[in-house]
Amino acid sequence: MRTYDFTPLYRTAVGFDRLANQLKNAATQSDSGYPPYNIETTGENAYRIEIAVAGFTADELNIEVKENLLTVTGRKTANDDAATQKTYLHRGLAERDFERRFQLADYVIVQDADLVNGLLSISLKRELPEALKPRRVEIGAGSSVIEGKIEKKAKAA
C-alpha cells in the first residue's frame, strides 16, 4: 500500500486544505464496491448517479444531503413470517445493508430521485448564485464626464 505525503500541498496552497483532506481520505479509504454505481453527466451543469439496489424498495432506502455530502443508505427490513421464509440453493443477490457517500461540489443540489427496475437514479444540478455567474459590463464612451469638466473650466475662466 502506498502512502502519500500531502505536507507540501499544505505549505504552498492557502485555502485548499479541504481538497488536500479529501485526497488524503480517498487514498486511505477502503471501498467495498457494494452497491455498484455509475456517475454520468447529463448536461453542462447536470449529473446523475445511478446505484444498483436490486431487492430494495423505496421504503428501505434513504437519501440525505448535509454540508455537501450526499449519503445513500439501504436497510433491509427483516421478514420473520414463517410463510415468507425461503430455502435457497444459491443466493447470489446481495441484499445486505449499505451506505454510500458522495462528496458534492459547492452549489450542487439534489433535484430528485427515482427507483426503477432496481436502479436508484439521483439527479443533481449545479446552480450558481447570480452573484457568481459571469455578467457583461457595458463600456461607456465617457464623453459626458469629459464634457462636464470642460464646461466647468469654461465657466471658471
In this structure, which topology does domain 34-79+90-131 adopt according to CATH? Immunoglobulin-like (2.60.40)
Distance, CA of 95 to chain centre:
26
Query: pTM (2 decimals)?
Result: 0.66
pLDDT of residue 76: 86
CB distance 124 to 104 below 8 Å: yes
Q: Convert the pLDDT of each residue in 17-69 to its tens digit.
A: 677 777 776 666 556 788 999 999 999 999 999 999 988 999 999 999 998 89
* DSSP structure string for the chain: ------HHHHHH-TT-HHHHHHHHHHHH------S-EEEEEEETTEEEEEEE-TT--GGGEEEEEETTEEEEEE-PPP---TTT----S---S----EEEEEEPPTTEEEEEEEEETTEEEEEEEE---GGGS----PPP--HHHHHHHHHHHHHH-
Domain boundaries, the chain: 1-30, 34-79+90-131
pLDDT digits (tens, 9 = 90+) for 60-109: 999 999 988 999 999 987 665 455 678 889 888 777 899 999 989 889 99
Give every CB contact of residue 66 below 8 A, 6+ residues apart in sequence.
none
Q: Label the pairing between strands 46-52 and 98-103.
A: unpaired
Tens digit of pLDDT for each residue in 111-126? Answer: 999 999 999 999 999 9
6 and 87 Cβ atoms separated by less than 8 Å: no
Amino acid 36: pLDDT: 93
Q: Taking 60 as the threshold, does the pLDDT of residue 154 lie above it?
A: yes
Distant-in-sequence, close-in-space partners of 27: CB < 8 Å, separation ≥ 6: 2, 3, 4
Mean pLDDT (the chain, rounded) = 82
Q: What is the predicted pLDDT for the residue at 60?
A: 94
Looking at residue 48, its pLDDT comes to: 97
